[in-house]
Structures are given as structure tokens and as C-alpha cells.
Amino acid sequence: MFILTSHGDYAKATLASCQMITGQLDGFYPVSFNDPMGVDDVVAQYQQIIEQHPEDSDVTIIADIPNGTPANAAHIFQGSHPATKVYAGLSLMTLLAIATGTEPDAAFAQTAELAGEVGKKHRVQAAKTASKPAAVPENHGNPLVNVRVDARLIHGQVATMWTRSVAASRIMIVDDEIVQSEVQKATLKTAVPGGVHLSILTAQGAADRFSKQQYNGQRVFLIVRDVTMLQKLVDAGVAIDKVNVGNMSMQSGATQIAKSVAVTPDDVAVFKHLTDKGVKLYHQMVPNDPQADFNELLAKGSK
């Protein structure tokens, strides 16, 4: 059990922001300290949470700052619950790491290492981590372990949830326009998780490499923002069995068919082409969500 506590509603908002990336989390409970509450009121809230969830015996309290009332209340609570661990320095970065399985001590150390100006420091850290890649399962089948349509490309859900869920050793961005933009390529290199390789290719370039079996033994997570890239890949002979249509932004002429998916008539034509080629289409925002049949969403959205 993790109790997140702060002055005002910061803890509640941080948890809500985290769940935008991870989906609904179990075992995380926010506590807000507002005037005219006192320290005893905060302690009582901690006590109420553990009484309502007696099955959660391990309690960790993460406060916003040390020596503030939420943290002081945590220390008082710890006096009658000595097994409770108390931390200070609640942030989205730290919470996201904890929510995806990192132990709190390691999560805080990771935050301290990565915090600061985004840029060179993060690229150096990513390169350092990449020199000691995390062990991933051997892959003797199709190197494509996940194919996703996502207008945001590499973002929180992709970098933390999906890459870990599919144990990807390489993220591949296929986009004929991004290949020509040094700025966009540099941004993607900064966003890729440490220890994971990155390829940014045109559709033809990716198809050529797959045909030469350059990624055999790897676990490739392929992401596109433009569904026509998938049509080009499939027509070039790349073995794509299924596609997760995760996020497509609203644009002129588009119809929203799911919370995060809006499609144009041109998109629908591409999806029909993929279906005719035997590609299974589904919609799944985060790994813990159930898969929804994408063609059923399209059919409902067209009515």
C-alpha cells in the first residue's frame, strides 16, 4: 500500500496524472492536507486508509516535502506502525517508476539522476544505460512483438508501460517525414528508454531491413503515427499479424470512435486494406486494459 500525501491536492493530482499513463492503479491512496486541518487530522486519514484496506500489510507513505505537516503526521503514524516506511519528495517521475514496479529507493535514485535540464544529460544517461542493456527474452520468431498506431510516438505510456510489457529491445519509428527532420529525430532519441535501441526509418527502409532479416533475434516494438506507413509495410511483405490502434488525434474531417482515436475516411480505407490482408486490428490504451475489436469500433462510429 502506498499513501501519497501533500499540502493541498498535489498528491491527488499527481496520482491522477500517473494514471493517465499507467491506467487505473490499485493500492495507491492520496491524502490532502488543507486548512484548517491539523497534524492529528492527517494521522487520522492515514489510519482510516489502513483500516479500510487491512489486507495491505506493507505501508509506504510518500510526502511532498520533509518536515511539512503531511510528513510530520507520517512520522507520528510510524510510531504506532513501526513497519511503515516514510519518504519525502513526491513527484510524477518517482511515482511513475514505483507504479511500474521499481522499488522506492531505486525510484528516488533514478529521479535524482534524471532530474534537471532536458537534453545532453539525458542523452548521456541513456547511452550509459544502453551500454548495459537489460536482459530480454530471446526471440526466435517474428521480431515484431508489438505494432502500435500512436500519434504521440514515444511518450509516457510507450516508454514506461508498453516497452516493458512487451520486453522490447528496440523501438522502431516508421515515418517518411520524421526521417528528414533532425529536430524530431533528436527529440525521439531523448525520449527512448535507457537500454532500448532506437531505429527511425522510412517505410521502404524498414521493409528492406526486415526482408534482409536484420532484426532476427530482437524484440522490435514498431510505432507509426500515420497508418499509411502500415499499408506500405504490409504491401512490401513485412509480416504484421496484428496492430494496436492506440491513439489517433482529432483532425479536420475525422470522426471520434474511441476516447483517444479519431479517424478520417482515408484512415478507414487503410484499415479496410489491412483487414483484407489478414491483419487483426484492436484498440488498447495500456497493457492492463482489455483489447477491443477495432473494426467493431469503426462500425459503431460510422452509424
Give the residue numbers marked as catalytic.
155
**Partners of 141 in the beta sheet?**
none
Q: Which residue carries 467493431 as its cell?
A: 296
Question: Which ranges in 2-99 belong to alpha helices (H)?
Answer: 10-22, 39-52, 69-80, 92-99
The three grid cell numbers given for residue 17, joined into one nine-digit string: 496524472
- Provide the phi-psi class of 132: left if phi over 0, else alpha when psi is between -120 and 50, else beta: beta
Q: Is 28 helix (H, G, I), strand (E, B) or coil?
A: strand
Quick one: which of 218, 98, 103 has its CA closest to 160?
98
Question: Which ranges in 100-241 belong to alpha helices (H)?
Answer: 104-114, 120-130, 156, 163-165, 182-191, 203-211, 228-235
Distance CA 298, CA 182 (A): 35
Q: Is 145 helix (H, G, I), strand (E, B) or coil?
A: strand
CA angle (65 as vertex; 61, 67 as ends), nearest 5: 90
C-beta separation of 95 from 10 below 8 A = no
Q: Which residue carries 544502453 as its cell?
A: 130
Q: Is 169 helix (H, G, I), strand (E, B) or coil?
A: coil
By CB neighbour count within 10 A (0-12 exposed, 13-18 middle, 19+ buried), where does 283 fall? buried
The three grid cell numbers given for residue 247, joined into one nine-digit string: 491513439
